[in-house]
Structure 1
C-alpha cells in the first residue's frame, strides 16, 4: 500500500496546485470572483466525499466477503477480507481517476495563441 499512497499524495499535490489555474483559465474577469468562490466551496466537499465513498465501498466489499464465508471466520479469513476490501476500493479509485483524467483531457481547451507573424497588423493605442 505504500507505493499507492505515495503516488496518491504526489498526484493530489500536483492537482491541488494546478486546479484553480485551470478552472479560472477561460473565465471573464468580471466572473472571476464567483468562479473562485465555487472552487473554494467545492474543495472541502470533494475532500470529504472521495474518502467517504471509498470507505463505503471498502466496508461493503469486506462485509460481502465475510458473509460469503462458510463456517467460522478465522484471523486469516478476516485478513483476506481486509485485502479484498482494499482491492475493491483501490480499483474504484483508479476507475474514478481514469474517468476524471479522460474528462479533463477531452474538455479542457488549449488556449489559442495570438498571431505573431510579421504580416499581422499591429494595433497601437
Structure 2
C-alpha cells in the first residue's frame, strides 16, 4: 500500500514547520536542482509542508543524511516551490524519493519509505 499525498488540501490547512531543518540536507528549487544533482549520487525527497506523510518522512531523510555523511548528497525539494522540477520528474504523489546518479534516476520510492531501503538504494548507486 502506498501512503502519500496526491492532492493539496484546502488553503486553510495549517502548514507544518520546514522539514529540511538539518544542515546536511540541501534544500533545492528549480534554480538550483540541476547544478546540485548533475554529478555523483543524490537522494532527493520531493515533499510539501501540507503533506502529513512528508512530515513523517522528513526525520527519516535527515537520519539517512547523517548516516551517509559525505558518501552521497541528500536533498529535499518542496514541490510547491519547484513546480518545474517536480513536473520534469513526473511527481504525482508525495513523498516521492528519487536516487539520482549523474543526474539520471536509478531508483525511486513513492510513499513513506524507511531509512534502510533508502540507504541500500543509495549504496547500490555508488
TM-score greater than 0.5 by the shorter chain:
no
- TM-score (structure 1 length as normaliser): 0.28
Which structure carries more strand by proportion?
2
Structure with more contact order per residue of length (Cα contacts < 8 Å, sep ≥ 6): 2
